[in-house]
Structure 1
Amino acid sequence: MPQLITAPGEAVVNRYRTSVVTPRVDAQVVKRHVQLGDHVDAGQALVTLSSVAMATAQGALLEADTELRRVKQLGRDVVSEKRFVTAQVAYQQARAQVGAYGMSDRQIDALIRQGDAARADGRFQLLAPQAGTVINDPFVIGQIVAPGYELLRITDESRIWVEARLPVNEAEWIMKDVAAIVTVGDTQLNGKVVQLHHQLDDTTRTRAVHIEVANPDHRLHPGQFVNVVIEGKAQQAQQGIVVPKAAVMRSKDGDWQVFVETAPGRFEAKEVALLRTAGERVMIDGIAPGTTVVARGAFFVQSEIAKGGFEIHNH
């Protein structure tokens, strides 16, 4: 039996598959295109904003584009090299500015192609940086938002993290990429350890471990509590007699015992030492390999023996 560490856990977002959508300039929310819980595709429009700074940048871009087109039409035989370079630099700077403020290349190209000064109204759309589910959208229409304000959070829940916090002595037994089992109700999901935090929690003095779990059916959601079993290092493995947990009972004096078959249908209590528990299995010492033990119904056998003698057939 390998060293198995059990601990409570909590499903959390996979930060490597999560993005936040924020404005880069002061803006006002004009329209929302998605809602909380919606699945979005990469590049999908999420929200329309309006910004005075963006309007100024859009106007400057149209002016720079017009000037660059003019000097290109005149040609290098008519336009000086300095004017040609100046027009190119002004265009690139104006394009870079509207891009830095939040317009995508596709939106910029559409604005230039239309060439309509009335389109330089400061409106632009923020697009989804990845596919996933919208799990946060704390804004309302008409709200003024500052640069860096989190308008939406998107996460890919197909591979989610489970965070378990372990005492330092147990966390030392765990290595990256080892197997783990996450239990949700009656369902067990296979996973593996992807992160071990090096800094302890200031309050609990525990070490966080992140387990990545495939979650195609969205059985796990951030904030959900689960139980985890993590496989320890190979050198921590032990050998012994492994029996179902239900096979081991406490005797009257508090010692651990199992019921062994001495003859067909005849049983007696045998004291054992409990070495380790791993889920629904336990490792014991005190009986020889090949011994037949009661795996189910041990409590019933114990009760009958306590009544003063027990012989049972066909059970």
Structure 2
Amino acid sequence: MSTPKRILPWLFLLVVAPLFVAACAEPGEPGEEGEGEGESEALADRVSLTADAAESLELTFARAEVMELRPTLEVPAEVVAVPDRLAEIGARVSGRVVDVRVNTGDEVDRRAPLLTIESAELGRAWADLLSARARERVALRARDRQRTLLNGRVTSVRAFEEAQSAWEVAEADVRGALTRLASVGIADPGEPPENPARVTLYSPIEGTVTARSVNVGQWVEPADILLRVVDLDELWLEAAVYEQQLRYVHAGQRVQVEMRAFPEAVFVGEVDRVSGVLDEASRSAGVRVVLPNPDRRLRPGMFATARIQGTLPGEARTLVVVPWAAVQDINGSPTVFLRAGEGTFEVRRVITGRRAGDFVEILTGLEEGDEVVADGSFLLKGQLLRATLAEEEEG
């Protein structure tokens, strides 16, 4: 089983921790001398890294810049499967499951075999077809014989018509048997298989098995949903917008999406449809966002926060902004890591304002051109807290 992604940063910190040194001494107070060249020292409100540590973290940087931010509408949302990209697999006959070839999380191709069921009903349907085909062949030969005799004036017209009628009835029986087989999933039967009582169910779409509720030996009925296959390459995000805000939302707007499962990632979608019906209880209308999912990280049922850009009324504001990923909450205060030198980062408290998409406005604490850590600030925060706890234990 792979390690969940949300704890990977903490495991990473444990690996590279020996490369870090962080302390909370007063400015200008020297730290302990290292034993060799290239070791780092910690100053007040600073985190210093060795060259190896900095390279291992793969930090990215961004400069505080002046940008025009437009207001956004923030709403809770949930990821759902696209109905046309979802298939629920069930048996068409009652029977017992003898083989299940997939499990939850497996990726399957279209027409991939999923499971096999053994059914007495299916066996009887095959038997009916074989009997009907035999009777039809006998009736056809009898009709042809009567036609030959009629042409030689050896038999009567009535005898020929009776043979013709018997053949038509036998042919109808064949069609009826074929229909019964088609109703249980055998659309074009040729010769019966080695075990006519067994039928294999196939996936109608390419996708991922997201649910399995069947085991070998289980008795199933036609109403049972045994497997669910979903094409995860594209999903929908369903949100609700209150009626007083509906006039600001329309199809085509860009949407920034944050998932509780992936707090450090931002996904981008687009408003596809705004419902024309208002929910009487909540006084809100549904909003559908199309959300590409090429790496298949997202799953139906995940909760999210959707920020629909350029929606709320108000003038756009021109302020200093940084990427949202650069801001970390440390002891209740928004904080950034300001690049103070090669491998040295100042812990700078800031006051944030409104957020718009990937950016957040900085009211105080930074000036235009200041360089901060963007991706990787979460790891620096973890190391700072770890070093603080270590000092408290020593004290």
Q: TM-score, normalised by structure 1?
A: 0.67
Residues 101, 278 of structure 1: CA spacing in aligned structure 2 closer, same or farther, 3 A cutoff? same
CA shift for structure 1 position 72: 4.9
- Tell me how far apart the structure 2 counterparts of residues 73 and 2 of structure 1 sit (CA, whole Å): 84
Structure 2 gap ranges (5+)? 1-68, 149-159, 323-352, 371-395
Report SS of the residue matched to 1:109: coil
| 1:72–1:232 CA distance, 2 compared to 1 (3 A) | farther
Shift of 1:203: 6.6
Q: 1:94 aligns with which of 177, 181, 185?
A: 177
The RMSD of aligned alpha carbons is 3.3
8 Å Cα contact 2:143/2:164 also seen in 1: no
- Percent identity of equivalent pairs: 25
Deviation at 1:232, TM superposition (A): 5.3
Structure-2 residue corresponding to 1:190: 268
2:306 equivalent to 1:228 = yes
Equivalent residue, structure 1, for 2:93: 25
Q: CA deviation at 1:96?
A: 1.2
**Selected match of 1:68 from 136, 161, 179:** 136
The answer to whether 1:81 aligns with 2:167 is: no
CA distance in 2, matches of 1:81, 1:192: 66
State the Cα distance separating 1:176 from its structure 2 match: 3.0
- Matches of 1:296 and 1:5, distance apart in 2: 29
Q: Which of 122, 129, 148 is the equivalent residue of 2:223?
A: 148
**Length, aligned pairs only:** 252
Q: Please tell me the residue identity of whatever aligns with 1:241.
A: R
Aligned AA (2:271): V
Secondary structure of 2:268's counterpart equals strand
User: Structure 1 stretches of 5 or more lacking a match?
Assistant: 247-273, 285-292, 298-315
Structure 1 residue aligned with 2:241, among 166, 184, 192?
166
Report the alpha carbon displacement of residue 52 of structure 1 after superposing the two structures with TM: 2.3
Pairwise CA distance, 1:201:
5.8
Partner of 2:319: 243
Distance in 1 between residues matched to 2:83 and 2:134, nearest whole Å: 44
Letter of the structure 2 residue corresponding to residue 135 of structure 1: T
Residue 137 of structure 1 is matched in structure 2 by: 212
Amino acid at match of 1:230: I
2:123 to 46, 49, 55: 55
- Other-structure match for 2:75: 7
Distance in 2 between the 1:231 and 1:65 partners? 67
Please tell me whether the aligned partners of residues 103 and 126 of structure 1 are also in contact (alpha carbons under 8 angstroms).
Answer: no
Contact residue 132 and residue 156 of structure 1 kept, 8 A: yes
Deviation of 1:219 (Å)? 1.9
Provide the rounded CA distance (Å) in 2 between the counterparts of 1:202 and 1:138.
Answer: 36
- Give the Cα–Cα distance (whole angstroms) in 2 for the partners of residues 161 and 91 of structure 1: 46
Q: 2:202 aligned to 120, 124, 127, which one?
A: 127
Residues 174-204 of structure 1: CA deviation (Å, up to 9, x unaligned): 2234332223433333322234345556775
Q: Which residue of 2 aligns with 1:302?
A: none
Name 2:190's counterpart in structure 1: 109
Larger Rg computed on CA atoms? 2
Which residue of structure 1 aligns with residue 290 of structure 2? Answer: 212
Residues 271 and 289 in structure 2, CA contact (< 8 A), matched pair in contact too: yes
The answer to whether 1:294 aligns with 2:362 is: no
Mark the CA change 1:178 to 1:24 in structure 2 (over 3 Å): closer, same or farther.
same
Distance (whole Å) between structure 1 residues aligned to residue 210 and residue 310 of structure 2: 34
Amino acid at match of 1:103: I
**Secondary structure of the structure 1 residue equivalent to 2:190:** helix
TM-superposed CA distance for 1:69, in Å, is 4.0
